[in-house]
Amino acid sequence: MLKQGVNKFFDSALQQLHEASQTLELDSGIVEFLKTPKRMVIVSVPVKRDNGEFNVFMGYRVQHNNARGPYKGGIRYHPEVTLEEVTALAMLMTWKCAVVDLPYGGAKGGVACNPKEMSREELEKLTRRYTSMIAEVIGPLVDIPAPDVYTDEQTMAWIMDTYSQLKGYQIPEVVTGKPVSVGGSYGRREATSRGVAITTREIARHLNIPLNRSRIAIQGYGNVGYYAAKILHEWGARIVAVSDSKGGILDERGLNPEAVMEHKKKTGSVINYNGAKTITNEELLELECDFLIPAALENQITEKNADRIKAKVIVEGANGPTTPEADKILYERKIAVVPDILSNAGGVTVSYLEWVQNLKRERWSLEEVNQKLEEKMVKAFADVVSYGKKYETNMRNAAMILAVDRVAEAVNLLGIWP
């Protein structure tokens, strides 16, 4: 087992588990069981580059807990992927699936590489090799991967094909987030964002903030940030600022999300968008607004900037964007935080719906998928609010207590064998 103190994000995940376990008065043995991943796989992924050179990348797949069902979790390609980060994310996936009451456990995977410096052919080689290396520990009733940072529908199609070729027949249910034409679900591409939008709407109702008069700032303008902006804009909210890795833009009159995305596709960034003021990512986080949606990477809101946050509500689009130290400061300042294990669970929810469609060999309409997603997210939000009232705590603690309670109950009912 990894030691605490190695990675701040990993430490945060363990701290959240510890606090929820204390509230629930769980047996220390169960807590130790929940802390420890069931399986951690490390593989080397050699790739012959377009110039003929060989590079070896490190790949990981961590399976945290499967008491409530098969492992579920994304695969990310990023230069800073580490075993500690993947382990923390796998644990968070266990809690996320439990919060939304999906019959899944948690897993996560990743390859330490820079996909921005790799060609399509190199990424295909990397994906297929990585898939072949973890093929023995994944499967449609064992562990079902999905897209994450810098992976997408095409990546999932390669994983599905590689796994299917190894098994000798087509197995679409081995992975979710695929293109619709090879078994993907309608609505999956924007599912995480729709979940973020739904929870933003629900917290707005809960706090009596009129969504159609609200000002929203979004850090991160990839898939999650863009579609969240688009949906919330359609619902009447004013998107005043967005950003990507190169910087951000601010326009108090409101931005057109689709026009901003067209600009980003042409120029490579949202910055220098016509009529908008260029700002930094740090400045975006500290803007005065109704809703701040951090949809980039983890540890963006820390003890160093939490006292300068001016948003009324933070809705986490990314995984772990707020540190525990920052959480305490925000709570003291009465800034509500909708935690990642609830707010960005739309992606895994529609992944579940895609998996069910694949298992049944059915195809559901976009309307049916969105309706089922809506029902799941609204119910999960209400459950978290209920636990918050019961334990007199904030939404993050309430979500963790709810999730850990459900997983611990499953572990206790199944028993630990032998």
Binding-site residue set for substrate: 72, 96, 351
Report the C-alpha gap between 68 and 70 in whole angstroms: 7
- Pick from 118, 103, 135: which is nearest to 49 by CA? 118
d(CA 208, CA 202): 10
- Which residue among 35, 38, 48, 108 is the active-site one? 108
CA distances from 357 to 8, 143, 176 (A): 38, 17, 11
Residues paired with 65 in a beta bridge: 106
Q: Please, are residues 410 and 68 in contact by the beta-carbon 8 Å criterion?
A: yes
Task: Give the integer Cα–Cα distance in Å for 88 and 153.
Answer: 24
Strand partners, 294: 219
Binding site, annotated residues: 72, 96, 192, 223, 351
Helix, strand, coil percent content, the chain, rounded in steps of 5: 50, 20, 30
Residue type, 48: K
What is the amino acid identity at position 383? D
- The answer to whether 329 touches 346, Cβ cutoff 8 Å, is no
Look at residue 38 and give its three-state secondary structure: coil
β-bridge mates for residue 277, sequence order: 250
Give yes or no: 108 in active site.
yes
Catalytic residues: 108
